[in-house]
């Protein structure tokens, strides 16, 4: 199951509601409202109901929240199954029962999917859904839902993987030291240890454990005294932040 590449936010509910409910030749059948927590069932009534939340927080520029959940080609679910999945998804995303939302089913040849349209403004005192890092969180939640609801496991989008920081060049002095000793510079050696520890993108505690297994502390002591001969018997005071590796 896939979500949108990027969750959308907007100023007006009218456009997205009318789009979601509009019949089209590309649909196997007309879009249908299958769930949510709203009283209305027509486009105009839904828009009016959503707009009521905007009055609670006129300061909010983009109260509209919109995402879709799409099955692989040729797969389908019942309406009740879709509603259960959507309810679980919204709860895990941090929406409460007092955030207005509706689920609209599209049954297309390219893949059955639902549109989830929600107001970020809570009916309870107008509290605003912030949704920090929501695209990354959404991808993780969808992967969890595939397992818990027995869906086909799909590959996570590569765009959600964190980009690797650009590695900084070894300094001239470090390069000369490495050539003179025949050993990697302290920075290069530390980077090698970290790269090996991060090979499978472990969580923090696992990374610390792996780094410890590779004797990171011993390596630091080794470098301190291994290169002391090059500085007249005085160990160099070498330090660098992780961003420098």
Q: What is the pLDDT of residues 173-192, one digit of tens each?
A: 888 887 888 777 777 777 77
117 by DSSP, 3-state: which? strand
Query: What is the C-alpha separation between 6 and 3, in angstroms, rounded?
Result: 8
Of 25-29, 121-125, 211-215, give the lowest mean pLDDT range: 211-215
In whole angstroms, what is the distance from residue 40 CA to residue 37 CA? 9
Buried/exposed code over 171-209 (b: 16+ C-beta within 10 A; e: otherwise): eeebeebbeeeeebbbbebbbebbeebeeeeeeeeeeee
Pick the CATH number of 2-160 from 3.30.930, 2.170.150, 2.10.25, 1.10.3470: 3.30.930
Q: Per-residue pLDDT averaged across 159-185, rounded? A: 70
Domain ranges of the chain: 2-160, 172-244
The neighbouring-strand residues paired with 172 are none
Question: Residue 112 half-sphere exposure, CB side, CA atoms within 13 Å?
Answer: 13
Amino acid 182: pLDDT? 78
pLDDT at 240: 54
State the Cα–Cα distance between residues 167 and 245, nearest whole angstrom. Answer: 6
pLDDT at position 20 is 97
Those residues whose C-beta lies under 8 Å from the C-beta of residue 71, and which sit 6 or more positions away, are: 1, 77, 111, 112, 113, 151, 152
- Give the span between the Cα atoms of 85 and 33, in whole angstroms: 15
The predicted model gives 99-120 an average pLDDT of 95
Cα distance between residue 164 and residue 151, in whole Å: 31
For the entire predicted model, the pTM comes to: 0.65
% of the chain with per-residue pLDDT over 70: 73
**pLDDT value at residue 156:** 62
Helix 186-197 to helix 172-181 angle (10° resolution) is 90
Contact present, 116 and 70 (Cβ < 8 Å): no
Angle between helices 216-226 and 186-197 (to 10 degrees): 170
Q: If residue 3 lies in a helix (H) or strand (E), which one and from where to where? A: strand 2-3
pLDDT, average across residues 105-130 = 95
Tell me the per-residue pLDDT of 59-70, one tens digit each, with 9 for 90 and over.
Answer: 999 999 999 999
Beta-strand runs (E) in 4-133: 8-10, 32-36, 64-70, 101-106, 113-119
């Amino acid at each position: 199951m896939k979500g949108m590449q990027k969750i959308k936010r907007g100023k007006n509910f009218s456009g997205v509601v009318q789009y979601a409910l509009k019949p089209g030749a590309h649909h196997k059948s007309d879009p249908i409202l299958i769930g949510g927590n709203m009283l209305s069932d027509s486009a105009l009534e839904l828009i009016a109901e959503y707009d009521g939340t905007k009055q609670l927080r006129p300061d909010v520029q983009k109260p509209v929240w919109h995402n879709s959940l799409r099955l692989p080609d040729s797969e389908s679910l019942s309406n009740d199954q879709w509603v259960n999945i959507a309810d679980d998804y919204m709860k895990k995303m941090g929406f409460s029962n007092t955030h207005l939302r509706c689920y609209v089913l599209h049954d297309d040849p390219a893949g059955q999917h639902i549109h989830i349209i929600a107001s970020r403004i809570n009916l309870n005192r107008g509290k605003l859904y912030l949704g920090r890092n929501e695209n990354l969180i959404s991808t993780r939640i969808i992967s969890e839902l595939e397992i818990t609801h027995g869906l086909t496991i799909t590959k996570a989008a590569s765009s959600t993987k964190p980009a690797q920081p650009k590695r900084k060049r070894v300094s001239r002095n470090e390069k000369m030291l490495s050539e003179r000793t025949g050993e990697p510079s302290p920075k290069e050696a530390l980077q090698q240890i970290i790269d090996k520890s991060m090979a499978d993108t472990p969580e923090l505690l696992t990374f610390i454990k792996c780094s410890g297994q590779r004797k990171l502390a011993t390596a630091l002591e080794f470098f301190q005294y291994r290169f002391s001969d090059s500085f007249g018997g005085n160990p160099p005071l070498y330090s660098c932040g992780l961003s420098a590796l």
